[in-house]
Structure 1
């Protein structure tokens, strides 16, 4: 066995491994903070020019629905469609926000399941 080869990886590889562990711990700590931040966010989706608004948290928990008096004058099927469209809008914005914040948190790390 030649000198400096040890168990098949040198000190450079150990340093890379230690740095990866440190980054993973930072990401884990950041994920806890991110979860709290997402829970406290309010992301609004709307439909019908603002006649119907749906507010969700950053982690897609529905918080409230706001209907204008004009929305209440609509037929039930139209109102149902407006509520659904506002929910979809809010959900889309919420998931985009979550994805963006996760990408910022991981800082370009190639972590499986987060891409």
Structure 2
């Protein structure tokens, strides 16, 4: 009578799988903390040498817009452009921050069979 090998999972594979689940759970917990941190962050974008400043949360939620009195003398079209540039600047900074923080969170995460 031959001895069966089960489902092809030896003790070593079961340990790898358990470790992977533990790492995934740690990442999930870290992601929740990161989400809370991002909500509290204030990331500023500027245009016109500081004439216009836009502040977003780390989750890209608009927080405030500050317009220097001197910017009002530039006219509506220029002011509109300055606000747009400041928004894009804040958005790009927020996106970069989010990406960096997610990379920190997932660095070292190697799931079996994922070929990382």
| TM-score, length of structure 1 as denominator length | 0.90
RMSD of equivalent CA atoms: 1.5
Report SS of the residue matched to 1:109. coil
Unaligned runs of 5+ in 2: 112-116
Aligned to 1:12: 12
Indicate conservation of the 8 Å contact 2:43/2:55, yes or no: yes
**Which fold has the larger relative contact order, with Cα–Cα distance below 8 Å and residues 6 or more apart in sequence?**
2
- Which runs of 4 or more aligned residues in structure 1 lie more than 3 Å from their structure 2 counterparts after TM superposition? none
Which residue matches 1:54?
54
Q: Distance in 1 between matches of 2:86 and 2:49?
A: 10
**How far did 1:6 drift?**
2.8
Q: Partners of 2:110 and 2:23 in 1: how far apart?
A: 12
Q: 1:105 to 1:46 in 2, by over 3 A?
A: same
1:67 equivalent to 2:86? Answer no
In structure 1, the partner of 2:81 is 81
**Runs of 5+ unmatched residues, structure 1:** none
- What residue is the counterpart of 1:32 in the other structure? 32
> How many residues are paired up?
110
Map Cα deviations across residues 55-93 of structure 1 (whole Å, 9 max, x no partner). Answer: 000010000000001111111000000000000000000
Give SS of 1:65's match.
strand
Deviation of 1:33 (Å) = 0.6
Q: Secondary structure at the match of 2:53?
A: strand
